[in-house]
Amino acid sequence: MAGLAAAPTAQDSASRKPWLIAHRGASAYAPENTVPAFRLAADQGADFVEFDLQLTKDRQIVCLHDNSLERTTDVEDVFPDRFRSERNTKRWMLEDFTLAEIKRLDAGVWFDAKFRGTRIPTFAETIDALRGRSGLFIELKTPERYEGIERLILAELEAKGLARPGADARTPVLLQSFTASSLQILSTLGTKLPVHFLVNARDAQQWLTPDGLTKVKAFATGISPEKTALLNQPDAIARVKQRGFLVTPYTFRASAVSGFPDVRAEMAHYLGLGVNGVITDNPDQMPRSTKSERPASN
């Protein structure tokens, strides 16, 4: 396993190797946001495992990317009548189910039959599975749907002894979200943990400008931009790092490579441009060298 990073800061980033951040665990090889994917990511050397947190009906924190359950569980079979109809589409919304009901769902068989019986993990179960093996790269997913989720997440980290930078050198913690107001709430609550602002390519023109970065500085220590946003703004990495931010672009996956021979070459290119880490579905494909590689010609 790769040496684990200490609590990340912009000030000491220059002396650290780039971070390998496993997106929803080793999600190319195991069902996303589940303990098998988290453990495999740690086995593959991930410095951090990225995962998404949301709330159940009874306000329990669980790992799930989508707001609804039908894509990654068998909820349609277990609770066939518990859907909402939205634009002629049936959706089984997480917020309509208690934790006990969620724990009845199979969250693995959709990916591969060998993962049958895998369950959606709670935040506490995720921490227990990764503690001492990998850092926690925690995304607050659509926090505007869950009033008070920021306080609940910080309380769980406090209960686990992880609410402060450096509390456990083998399990560093970082928080991130696409929702600026949620990160501002974290700041108001007084967290000293590093916080990253997720920025998609559409919004990069707003947030990666000098004025935008000045605003972000009030509530974040790093930027996690959609990778194409950095290609569209060649000077963006230097500009962001000059402001003291760490840069950890997303998402690198072998199943969706464009303009490069493979995902390893794609990650090497970005690492060669000076990013602080990469968020990838394929942690085993992290290149050993950070030398920039040219995109493949068309």
pLDDT beyond 80 at 197: yes
pLDDT beyond 90 at 234: no
Would you give the DSSP letter of residue 286?
A: -
* H helix runs in the chain, sequence order: 35-43, 75-78, 99-102, 123-130, 149-159, 180-188, 204-207, 210-216, 227-232, 236-242, 263-272
Residue 209's CB: how many other CB atoms inside 10 A?
A: 14
For the entire predicted model, the pTM comes to 0.92
Question: How confident is the prediction for the chain on average, in pLDDT?
Answer: 92
Buried (b) or exposed (e) across 239-250, using 16+ Cβ within 10 A?
Answer: ebbeeebbbbbb
Q: Cα 110 to the chain's mean position, in Å? A: 21
> In the block, which residue shows the tokens 């501002």?
184
Structure tokens given for 90: 């049936």
% of the chain at pLDDT higher than 90: 88
Q: Which active-site residues does the annotation give? A: 23, 65
Per residue in 46-78, pLDDT tens?
A: 999 999 999 999 999 999 999 999 999 999 999
Question: What domains appear along the chain, each with residue ranges and CATH number?
Answer: 13-66+121-285 (3.20.20.190)
Residue 114 exposed, middle or buried by CB count within 10 Å (0-12, 13-18, 19+)? exposed
Per residue in 143-184, pLDDT tens?
A: 999 999 999 999 999 999 999 999 999 999 999 999 999 999
Residue 148's CB: how many other CB atoms inside 10 A?
A: 12
Q: Are 84 and 93 in contact (CB under 8 A)?
A: yes
Give the contacts of 183 (CB within 8 A, at least 6 positions apart). Answer: 175, 176, 177, 195, 197, 219, 220
d(CA 228, CA 234): 10
Q: Are 283 and 44 in contact (CB under 8 A)?
A: yes
Per residue in 256-294, pLDDT tens?
A: 999 999 999 999 999 999 999 999 999 999 997 554 443
- pLDDT number for residue 232: 75
Give the contacts of 250 (CB within 8 A, at least 6 positions apart). Answer: 23, 198, 224, 225, 226, 227, 279
- pLDDT number for residue 6: 43
- pLDDT number for residue 156: 98
**How much is the average pLDDT of 117-142?**
98
Structure tokens given for 86: 């939205």
